[in-house]
């Protein structure tokens, strides 16, 4: 019999999710309205210390709503971190706006404040003020929000914070998703907690979040019949998904703990190996370590070929994956502007995500360890 697959990050249910779903069935709230939706929104607000939350069907939908609320439209410039998953940037295209991509800096792998400011100045010189800054906390590591917030304030350009990978992360105790005008969360199947698919838009602006709920339910005006004066979306989260989410949020702390233990496990495993780098937490930064990543320096250690490493793991039915391919290198965006150097590009060439499930068993960790050691020994 073949060895069972070890996934990068698979769903990990707690004990009350199924009970909550059963309750939703028993009470017949099998709809995109219901008590679990309200409860999940309240609990998410408490968790990230953002006053208002609207839950929707995906993180991508939440970003789309944020752009709509900031009135981003045709031809408008949105400054977007290049090193990310395409869910961050696709909504810019939905609005027929122009993504302008910004490189990362090496400390957090997230948006480089200097490159951001260069891009802003460039566009201001052209008489085109960017409409939004879309910053990402990749792999759970917070971006340099002090510097980025200062730039946002100086140039009066609002921040959309893509915290899809960073629920449970913080800087000096301040949760990710609470720094920007809008925060975005995702509960896709591979995220630190999941509702199978889902997302949330957060803001301290109550009017904006009420409007997000309105837009996410087809923008129906107040009338006994169906009256519409603007384009809306069918983006609202189901009460069934929210029932799962309420249960998942209760175990978030445990999930973060397990993810951080995974990261420590890999750091320990590679500690004697030359040429292996990890993403370290700057002082005051706390990462949920959603995925554990390594960067291989083949110049220091020629054994460390990321492709061969990945294939070696694959042969043992262990999933690993290159880091996100930067958006400015995607065929889809080949004509878009990019500000920065080669930080994101090199991370993509040299890095790998390792199995990072919060549900990894000791036996699975042993298998991973033996497979990695056999690669290093060959
Ligand atoms: C997952 C993810 C998204 C999109 O979330 P979905 O819920 O899958 O639509 C956006 N940005 C980043 C960085 C993500 O990892």
CATH number at residue 74: 3.40.640.10
33 falls within a domain: yes
Q: Is 136 in the pocket of ligand 1 (CB under 6 A)?
A: yes
Domain boundary among 250, 284, 310: 250
Domain boundary among 250, 272, 300: 250
Q: Rounded CA gap, 142 and 280, in Å?
A: 11
Is the same domain home to 75 and 151? yes
Pairing verdict, β 170-171 and 174-175? antiparallel
Mutate which of 44, 56, 57, 59 to test ligand 1's pocket (most atoms within 8 Å of Cβ)? 59
Please report the atom of ligand 1 found closest to the CA of residue 198: 7
Q: What is the pLDDT of residue 113?
A: 98
Domain boundary among 207, 225, 250: 250
153 falls within a domain: yes
11 falls within a domain: no
1 falls within a domain: no
143 falls within a domain: yes
The arithmetic mean of pLDDT across residues 202-216, rounded, is: 98
8: number of CA atoms within 13 Å, CB side?
A: 19
Q: What is the pLDDT of residue 1?
A: 54
Phi, psi of 216 (to 5 degrees): -80, -5
The arithmetic mean of pLDDT across residues 130-149, rounded, is: 98
- Asked if pLDDT for residue 311 goes beyond 90, the answer is yes
Ligand 1 centroid vs 303 CA: distance in angstroms? 33
Q: Is 109 in the pocket of ligand 1 (CB under 6 A)?
A: no
CA 365 remoteness from chain centre: 25
CATH of the domain at 279: 3.90.1150.10
Mean pLDDT of the chain: 97
Query: What's the domain count of the chain?
Result: 2
Is the same domain home to 142 and 289? no
Q: Predicted confidence band at 378 (pLDDT cuts at 50, 70, 90)?
A: confident
Residue range(s) defining the domain that contains residue 34: 16-250
Task: With 0.95 as the threshold, say if the pTM is over it.
Answer: yes
The arithmetic mean of pLDDT across residues 197-221, rounded, is: 98
Q: What is the pLDDT of residue 156?
A: 98
The rounded percent of the chain whose pLDDT value lies above 70 is 100
The arithmetic mean of pLDDT across residues 149-158, rounded, is: 98
The arithmetic mean of pLDDT across residues 162-183, rounded, is: 98
- Centre a 10 Å sphere on the Cβ of residue 88 and count the other Cβ atoms it contains: 26
Radius of gyration of the chain (CA): 21
10 falls within a domain: no
Q: pLDDT for 33-42, tens place per residue?
A: 999 999 999 9
27 falls within a domain: yes
Is the same domain home to 112 and 123? yes
Q: Predicted confidence band at 3 (pLDDT cuts at 50, 70, 90)?
A: confident
Q: What is the pLDDT of residue 2?
A: 72
Q: Rounded CA gap, 154 and 144, in Å?
A: 16
Is the same domain home to 106 and 209? yes
Q: pLDDT for 217-269, tens place per residue?
A: 999 999 999 999 999 999 999 999 999 999 999 999 999 999 999 999 999 99
Is the same domain home to 297 and 192? no
* Contact (Cβ atoms closer than 8 angstroms) between residue 104 and residue 50: no
Annotate 21-43 with b (16+ C-beta within 10 A) or e (fewer).
bebbeeeebeebebebbebbbeb
Ligand 1 centroid vs 324 CA: distance in angstroms? 12
Token pair belonging to 200:
């949330």
Is the same domain home to 226 and 291? no
* Contact (Cβ atoms closer than 8 angstroms) between residue 180 and residue 132: no
Nearest to 160 by CA among 137, 127, 140: 137
The arithmetic mean of pLDDT across residues 187-206, rounded, is: 98
9 falls within a domain: no
Q: Rounded CA gap, 223 and 226, in Å?
A: 7
Q: Is 84 in the pocket of ligand 1 (CB under 6 A)?
A: yes
Is the same domain home to 31 and 172? yes
Is the same domain home to 45 and 103? yes
Please report the atom of ligand 1 found closest to the CA of residue 61: 9
Is the same domain home to 130 and 41? yes
């Amino acid at each position: 019999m073949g060895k069972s697959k070890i996934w990068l990050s698979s769903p990990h249910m707690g004990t009350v999710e199924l009970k909550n779903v059963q309750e939703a069935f028993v009470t017949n709230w099998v709809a995109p309205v219901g008590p679990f939706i309200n409860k999940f929104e309240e609990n998410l607000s408490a968790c990230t210390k953002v006053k208002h939350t609207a839950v929707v069907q995906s993180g991508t939908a939440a970003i789309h709503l944020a752009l709509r609320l900031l009135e981003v439209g045709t031809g408008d410039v949105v400054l977007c971190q290049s090193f990310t998953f395409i869910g961050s940037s696709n909504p810019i295209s939905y609005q027929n706006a122009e993504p302008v991509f910004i490189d990362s800096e090496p400390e957090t792998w997230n948006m480089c404040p200097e490159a951001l400011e260069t891009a802003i100045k460039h566009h201001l010189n052209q008489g085109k003020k960017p409409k939004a800054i879309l910053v990402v906390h990749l792999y759970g590591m917070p971006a340099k929000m002090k510097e980025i917030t200062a730039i946002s304030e100086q140039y009066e350009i609002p921040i959309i914070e893509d915290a899809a990978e960073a629920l449970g992360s913080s800087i000096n105790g301040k949760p990710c998703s609470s720094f920007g005008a809008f925060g975005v969360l995702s509960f896709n199947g591979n995220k630190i907690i999941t509702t199978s698919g889902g997302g949330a838009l957060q803001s301290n602006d109550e009017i904006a979040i009420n409007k997000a709920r309105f837009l996410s339910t087809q923008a129906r005006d107040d009338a006994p019949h169906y009256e519409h004066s603007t384009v809306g979306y069918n983006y609202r989260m189901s009460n069934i998904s929210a029932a799962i989410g309420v249960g998942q949020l209760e175990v978030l702390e445990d999930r973060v703990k397990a993810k951080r233990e995974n990261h420590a496990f890999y750091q320990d495993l590679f500690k004697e190996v030359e040429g292996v780098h990890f993403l370290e937490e700057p002082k005051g930064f706390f990462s949920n370590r959603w995925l554990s990543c390594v960067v291989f320096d083949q110049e220091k250690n020629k054994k460390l070929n990321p492709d061969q490493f990945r294939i070696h793991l694959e042969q043992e039915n262990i999933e690993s994956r290159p880091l996100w391919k930067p958006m400015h290198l995607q065929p889809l965006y080949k004509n878009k502007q990019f500000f920065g150097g080669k930080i994101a590009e090199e991370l993509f060439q040299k890095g790998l995500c390792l199995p990072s499930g919060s549900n990894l068993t000791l036996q699975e960790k042993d298998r991973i360890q033996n497979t990695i050691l056999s690669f290093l020994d060959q």
